C-alpha cells in the first residue's frame, strides 16, 4: 500500500469514528430522554477526544508528508491533489492549536452557551457580556495561532467554515449586495402593498403537514430509503455517511411555512449529503466543499424552487386538498405572495428571502471589528441597534430581539455568519447556470419534474466533493467568478412581479 | 491514584465507548433507514474492534495485576473484591481467545445468521447445516481455549452468559423442573378446559395499546424521564448508561398480549438497568449480575405481576374502558384466563408461562451433546422432533416450526438458552422472598401500588451489581440455594385455580 493509500485509509477510519458521534448527536436532538443528557455528554466528549487525537497524531502527519512526497502532481484539480491539499489544511489547522486552547475554547463555549440561554431569556446583555469577552478573546488567540498570511485575523476564523475565502472578498461582495438590497427593500415597503399573511396562521394539522412536507422532500429528490425526517427543537440535517442522512424539522399547527420550507431547506442539505460519492466517504473528495456551498443547496431548494410560482403551479391544488379548511378561500396567487412576503422584522431565522441577507451583513460588519479589536464586546448592543435602524428602519426594542437573538457567538461561532449569505449568492449563480444548461426549469417544476435539476446539482457540485475550493467551484460550474448580481437579479425579478415595482 | 482506581477509570472509559455502540445498535433496530445498513455495520465493527483492543490490552492486564496485589481482601463480597474478581474473569476470557478465532467467529456468525434467515423462510435445514457445523466447531474450539477445569466444555460457553453456573447444576435443576412440569401440563391438557382466546385477537387499536402499555410500564416503575419505549421488529431493552434506558416492543392490532406483556417484560429489564448504581457505571459493581438474573427481572414483572389476578383487579376496568369494543362482553375472569392460557405450541416466543420452560429444556438437552460432540449437527432435526413429541405430544410439521425457529445458534449463541429458564426460577424464588418481606403483595397490586416491590428489587438485586455471582445472590436475597420448586409451586397454584385441577 502506498503512503497515499494508507493516508486515505486512516482518514476514512477517523471519519467513520466521527460519524458515530453524529448518530449520538442526532439522537440527542430527537429522541434522547432528558435524563440521558449527562451520559451523552460523556460519550460525545470521549468520541471527540479520540477523533481529535487521531486527527492530530504525529503518525498522521508522517503519512501525510510521505504521501505529499510520492503523489506530487502539477494538476491541483486531480482527486489525489485535492485530497492532499485539504487533508494538509485540516491537519495543519488542528495541530497548530495547543491543547490548552482547544480545551479552554470547549469549556468556555459550553458555559457561555448556557449563560446566553439565560441572558436571552432575561434580555440582559450585561449577563452575557463577560462570556462574549472571553469567547472573542479566545478566538482572537486562535486566529493568531492559526495565522492569516497577509490578510486579517478574521480570515483565520472564516477559513474554518469557508476554506480559501477572505474577509476582503466577502466585504466587497457584501457591499455590492447591500447597495442593491437596501433600495429594493425600501421600494417594496414604499409600495404600501402587503399580503394578508394571517392565512398562513390558520389551522394546518401537524399530521397533514408531515405528509405534505415528506411528499415534497421526496419529489425534489431526497431519498427516504437512505434517510429520515424527524422532529427537533432546532432543525438540522446530519449526514451519518453513505446511505444514512437524517433531516429534522419542527411543526407549528398555526404556522405553515415554518415546517414546510424548513423541510425543503433541510432536504436540500440532505440531497447534497446523499449526492456525495459514497466510495470517497471520509476523504476530502467525499466531503462537502464548504458551509457556504452546503447552504447554497438548502437555499436553492427552499427559495429558488420551493418559493417559486412554478413550484406552486404544481403543488397548490394538492395543498388545497390537504389543507382544505385553511385554504378553501385562498387563491393560488395570494398564497404565493404570502409565502414570499417581504417586510423588515427583528429575528433573522424568521426573515424573508430578501431582508435575510441584511441580517447577515449586519452580523458580518460587527464580527470583523470584534475580531480586529476595534469593537469592544461591551459596545455590541449600541452598534447593533444603530446598524439595524439604518438597514431596516426599525429599532430592536430589546437585546433579546437584537444582539442576543443568535446562538452562534455564544458557542464560539465567529466567522460562520457570512456563509449564510454566501450560500444565497452561490445558490443564485448555480441556479442561473442550471437554467442555462437545462432549459425551461419553470415548465419542469410546474410539471412536478425536479429530477433534471437534482441530477445537474449531483454532477456539477455534489459528486465533486472538495475537488475545488468554493470560489473555484463556482467558476468551474458557472464560468464566472462569484458575484452578488445573480442573487440581486433573482430577488428583483421575483419581487417586482409580486409587489408591482 | 492507586492502581485499583486507575483500573476502574480504564474500565469506565471502555464501557463508555462500548455504550456508544449501544446507541448505534438501538438506532439500527428502531429508526435507521434501510440504506444505512452497510455504513452502520462499519461503524459498529470499528467500535467493537476498539473496545476489544482496549479490553484485552497488556496495559489493562498490568493494571489489573497491580490492583490485585494492592487491594487484596479476605472478604470476597467487598465491592473492590467483586470488581477485581469480575474484571479478572472478563479479561482472562477475552485475552485467551486468539484474534483469529474472534474474527472467524464474527465472520461466520454474521454469514450464518443470513443463511439462517433464508433457510427458515424456506424451511430447509439442509441449507443451514453447513453453517451450524461451522458455528458449533468454532464454539467448541472456543470452549477448549477458554477452558473448563474439571467440568465439561459446555461450562465454558454457559459461563459467558451465566458466570459461575455449570452444566451439571443446570442439568439437575432442569431435570427436577421437567419432572414436575410435564405432568402439570398434561393435567391442564387433560382437563379439557380451554378459554376462548379469540377475544385477544379482536381489534385493539395500536395507539391505545401504546398508551395503555406505557401507563402500565410507568406504574410498575419504569422511569420515562430516563428512558423511552419505541418499536422494533425484535423487541429488546438496551441500557445505554445512567439516565438512558431504551425499551422496544411491537404492536399487532389483532393480538393484545404480544405488545402488552412484551412491554412489561422489557420494562422489567429496563427497571433493572435503571436500578444499577449510576456511580458505578462501567465497573462490575455497576453491571447486571448475569443474563439469568436479568431475565428474572423481566419475567417477574411480565408473569408474576402482569399475569396475576391482583394486577387485573386493578387494571381490568381501565382496559375495558380503553378497549371498549373488544372487551365489552368479556368478564374479568375470562380475560385473566385468556392471558394465562396454557397449551402446547410449536413456537417458543409465543409459548405460555408453563410450556415455555419445556421449550428451553429441549434446547439445553440438544446443546450439551452438540458441544460435547455426541450429537452431530446433521442429526438435530430428528433429535428435536423426537424430543418435542415426547414433551409436548405434538410433532413440528416443518423445521421452520421446529429446530430452525430460533435465531440463537445461527448467531453463535450456544449456552444462552438455559438463562431463560434460570431466569424463571430466579424470578419465582425472588418473588417468594419479596412476598415474605413485603406482606400482602396482592393487596398492593390490586391497589395499583407496585413501589414496594420495585424498591425491594432495587435494594436486594439491582444496586448490588456484580457484588455476588447469580447463585450466591439468590442465597443472599432469599436465604436458600436456587431451586426449581418455587417456580413449580407458582405455576401449580396459578393453573390449578384457572383449570380447576
The DSSP annotation for B432-447 comes to HHHHHHHS-HHHHHHT
**What is the C-alpha separation between B60 and A4, in angstroms, rounded?**
33
Domain CATH number, residue B205: 1.10.1370.30
> In this model, does residue A107 exceed pLDDT 90?
no
**Per-residue pLDDT, B283:** 98
- Set of chain B residues whose Cβ sits within 8 Å of the Cβ of A207: none
Q: Is residue B360 part of a domain?
A: no
> In this model, does residue A73 exceed pLDDT 80?
no
Q: Is residue B491 part of a domain?
A: no
Residue A16 has its nearest CB partner, among B16, B42, B244, at: B42
| Residue to substitute from B27, B214, B245, interface A, most A β-carbons within 10 A | B27
Cβ separation of A16 and B46 shorter than 8 Å? Answer: yes
Backbone angles phi, psi at A376, to 5 degrees: -80, 140
Which cell numbers hold the place of B179?
419432572
Q: Is the dihedral of CA A393, A398, A399, A401 positive or negative?
A: negative
The DSSP annotation for B112-141 comes to HHHHHHHHHHHT-HHHHHHHHHHHHHHHHH
Backbone angles phi, psi at A244, to 5 degrees: -150, 100
> In this model, does residue A209 exceed pLDDT 80?
yes
Q: Please report, rounded to a whole number, the percentage of residues in chain A having pLDDT higher than 70.
A: 100
Cβ separation of A35 and B241 shorter than 8 Å? Answer: no
Active site residues of A: 266
- The residue out of B96, B119, B148 marking a domain boundary is B96
Q: Is residue B452 part of a domain?
A: yes
By residue count, chain A amounts to: 501
| Residue to substitute from A15, A27, A241, interface B, most B β-carbons within 10 A | A27
Q: What is the C-alpha R_g of chain A? A: 23
The DSSP annotation for A306-325 comes to TTSHHHHHHHHHHHHHHTHH
Q: How would you write B41-54 as a 3-class SS string? A: HHHHHHHHHHHHHH
**What is the C-alpha separation between B489 and B12, in angstroms, rounded?**
42
Q: Tell me the three state secondary structure of residue B229.
A: strand
Residue B227 has its nearest CB partner, among A21, A33, A240, at: A33
Q: What is the pLDDT of residues A299-309, one digit of tens each?
A: 999 999 999 99
- Set of chain A residues whose Cβ sits within 8 Å of the Cβ of B227: 33, 35
Identify each DSSP E strand in B265-337 by its residue range: none
Q: Tell me the three state secondary structure of residue B237.
A: strand
DSSP state for residue A331 in the 8-state scheme: -
- The residue out of B96, B124, B139 marking a domain boundary is B96
Segments in chain B below pLDDT 70: none
Distance from CA of B459 to the nearest CA of A (A): 21
How many Cβ atoms from other residues are within 10 Å of residue A172's Cβ?
Answer: 12
**What is the C-alpha separation between A473 and A162, in angstroms, rounded?**
12
Cβ separation of A39 and B223 shorter than 8 Å? Answer: no
Size of interface A-B (CB pairs under 8 A): 110
Q: For A31, which residue in chain B has the nearest alpha carbon?
A: B228
Q: What is the pLDDT of residues A2-42, one digit of tens each?
A: 999 999 999 999 999 999 999 999 999 999 999 999 999 89
Contact residues for A438 (Cβ-Cβ < 8 A; gap 6+): A444, A452, A453, A456
Question: Helices A355-372 and A153-161: crossing angle, nearest 10°?
Answer: 130
**Per-residue pLDDT, B469:** 97
Provide the pLDDT confidence category of residue A99 given band limits of 50, 70 and 90: confident
Q: Please report, rounded to a whole number, the percentage of residues in chain A having pLDDT higher than 90.
A: 95
- Set of chain A residues whose Cβ sits within 8 Å of the Cβ of B46: 13, 16-17, 20
The predicted model gives A127-154 an average pLDDT of 97
How many Cβ atoms from other residues are within 10 Å of residue B338's Cβ?
Answer: 19
Domain with A38, as residue range(s), is 1-96
Distance from CA of B412 to the nearest CA of A (A): 26
**What is the C-alpha separation between B342 and B187, in angstroms, rounded?**
11
Q: How would you write A1-44 as a 3-class SS string? A: CCHHHHHHHHHHHHHHHHHHHHHHHHHHHHCCCHHHHHHHHHHH
The predicted model gives A137-141 an average pLDDT of 97
Shared domain for B92 and B209, answered yes or no, is: no
**What is the C-alpha separation between B275 and B312, in angstroms, rounded?**
26
The predicted model gives A280-286 an average pLDDT of 98
Residue B269 among known ligand-binding residues: yes
E strand or H helix at A179: helix A167-190
Residue B18 among known ligand-binding residues: no
**What is the C-alpha separation between A238 and A288, in angstroms, rounded?**
12
DSSP state for residue B219 in the 8-state scheme: H
| Strands B227-231 vs B244-249: parallel, antiparallel or unpaired | parallel
- Residue recorded with cell 416466543: B349
The predicted model gives A271-291 an average pLDDT of 98
Total domains in chain B come to 2
**Per-residue pLDDT, A71:** 83
**Per-residue pLDDT, A72:** 74
| Strands A237-241 vs B244-249: parallel, antiparallel or unpaired | unpaired
Backbone angles phi, psi at A471, to 5 degrees: -60, -40
- The residue out of B67, B96, B125 marking a domain boundary is B96
**What is the C-alpha separation between B282 and B277, in angstroms, rounded?**
10
Residue A39 has its nearest CB partner, among B35, B38, B243, at: B243
E strand or H helix at A412: none
- Cβ pair A285, A277 in contact under 8 A: yes
**Per-residue pLDDT, A301:** 98
Shared domain for B323 and B441, answered yes or no, is: yes
Distance from CA of A278 to the nearest CA of B (A): 10
- Residue recorded with cell 429446530: B403
Name the strands in the sheet holding B227-231, side by side, starting at the edge strand that comes first in the sequence: B227-231, B244-249, B237-241
Query: Of B251, B420, B418, B295, whose CA–CA distance to B351 is shortest?
Result: B420
Which cell numbers hold the place of B76?
470476597
Cβ separation of A23 and B43 shorter than 8 Å? Answer: yes
Backbone angles phi, psi at B150, to 5 degrees: -90, 0
What are the C-alpha distances in Å from B320 to residues B209, B212, B314, B317?
12, 11, 12, 5
Q: Is residue A52 part of a domain?
A: yes
The CA-based diameter of chain B, rounded to the nearest angstrom, is 70
Q: What is the pLDDT of residues A238-261, one digit of tens each?
A: 999 999 999 999 999 999 999 999
Query: Of B96, B83, B95, whose CA–CA distance to B7 is shortest?
Result: B83
Q: What is the pLDDT of residues B3-44, one digit of tens each?
A: 999 999 999 999 999 999 999 999 999 999 999 999 999 999
**Per-residue pLDDT, A1:** 86
Q: For A14, which residue in chain B has the nearest alpha carbon?
A: B46
What are the C-alpha distances in Å from A311 to residues A212, A304, A447?
14, 9, 9
Which cell numbers hold the place of B245?
434506558
The predicted model gives A415-438 an average pLDDT of 98
Amino acid at each position: 500500500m502506498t503512503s497515499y493509500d494508507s493516508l486515505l485509509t486512516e482518514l476514512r477510519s477517523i471519519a467513520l469514528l466521527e460519524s458515530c458521534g453524529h448518530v449520538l448527536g442526532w439522537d440527542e436532538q430527537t429522541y434522547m430522554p432528558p435524563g440521558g443528557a449527562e451520559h451523552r455528554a460523556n460519550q460525545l466528549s470521549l468520541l471527540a477526544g479520540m477523533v481529535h487525537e487521531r486527527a492530530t497524531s504525529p503518525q498522521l502527519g508522517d503519512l501525510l508528508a510521505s504521501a505529499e512526497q510520492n503523489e506530487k502532481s502539477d494538476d491541483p484539480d486531480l482527486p489525489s491533489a485535492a485530497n492532499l491539499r485539504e487533508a494538509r489544511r485540516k491537519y495543519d489547522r488542528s495541530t497548530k492549536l495547543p491543547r490548552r486552547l482547544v480545551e479552554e475554547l470547549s469549556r468556555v463555549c459550553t458555559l457561555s452557551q448556557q449563560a446566553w440561554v439565560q441572558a436571552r431569556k432575561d434580555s440582559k446583555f450585561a449577563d452575557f457580556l463577560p462570556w462574549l469577552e472571553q469567547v472573542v478573546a479566545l478566538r482572537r488567540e486562535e486566529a493568531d495561532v492559526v495565522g492569516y498570511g497577509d490578510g486579517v485575523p478574521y480570515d483565520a476564523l472564516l477559513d474554518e467554515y469557508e476554506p480559501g475565502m477572505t474577509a476582503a472578498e466577502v466585504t466587497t461582495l457584501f457591499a455590492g449586495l447591500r447597495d442593491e438590497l437596501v433600495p429594493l427593500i425600501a421600494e417594496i415597503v414604499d409600495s404600501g402593498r402587503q399580503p394578508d399573511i394571517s392565512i398562513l396562521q390558520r389551522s394546518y394539522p401537524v399530521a397533514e403537514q408531515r405528509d405534505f412536507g415528506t411528499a415534497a422532500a421526496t419529489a425534489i429528490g431526497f431519498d427516504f430509503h437512505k434517510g429520515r425526517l424527524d422532529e427537533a427543537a432546532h432543525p438540522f440535517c446530519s449526514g451519518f455517511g453513505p446511505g444514512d442522512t437524517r433531516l429534522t424539522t419542527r411543526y407549528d399547527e398555526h404556522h405553515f411555512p415554518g415546517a414546510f420550507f424548513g423541510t425543503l431547506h433541510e432536504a436540500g442539505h440532505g440531497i447534497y449529503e446523499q449526492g456525495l460519492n459514497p466510495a470517497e466517504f471520509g476523504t476530502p473528495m467525499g466531503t462537502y466543499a464548504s458551509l457556504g456551498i452546503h447552504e447554497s443547496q438548502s437555499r436553492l431548494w427552499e427559495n429558488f424552487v420551493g418559493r417559486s410560482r412554478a413550484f406552486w403551479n404544481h403543488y397548490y391544488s394538492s395543498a388545497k386538498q390537504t389543507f382544505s379548511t385553511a385554504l378553501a378561500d385562498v387563491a393560488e396567487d395570494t398564497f404565493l405572495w404570502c409565502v414570499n412576503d417581504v417586510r423588515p422584522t427583528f429575528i433573522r431565522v424568521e426573515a424573508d428571502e430578501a431582508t435575510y441577507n441584511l441580517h447577515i451583513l449586519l452580523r458580518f460588519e460587527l464580527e470583523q471589528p470584534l475580531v480586529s479589536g476595534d469593537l469592544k464586546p461591551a459596545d455590541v448592543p449600541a452598534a447593533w441597534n444603530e446598524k439595524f435602524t439604518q438597514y431596516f428602519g426599525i429599532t430592536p426594542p430589546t437585546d433579546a430581539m437584537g444582539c442576543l437573538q443568535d446562538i452562534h457567538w455564544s458557542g464560539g461561532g465567529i466567522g460562520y455568519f457570512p456563509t449564510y449569505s454566501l450560500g444565497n449568492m452561490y445558490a443564485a449563480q448555480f441556479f442561473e447556470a442550471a437554467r442555462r444548461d437545462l432549459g425551461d426549469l419553470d415548465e419542469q417544476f410546474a410539471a412536478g419534474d425536479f429530477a433534471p435539476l437534482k441530477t445537474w446539482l449531483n454532477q456539477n457540485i455534489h459528486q465533486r466533493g472538495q475537488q475545488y475550493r468554493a470560489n473555484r467551484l463556482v467558476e468551474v460550474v458557472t464560468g464566472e467568478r462569484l458575484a452578488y448580481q445573480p442573487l440581486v437579479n433573482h430577488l428583483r425579478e421575483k419581487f417586482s412581479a409580486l409587489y408591482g415595482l
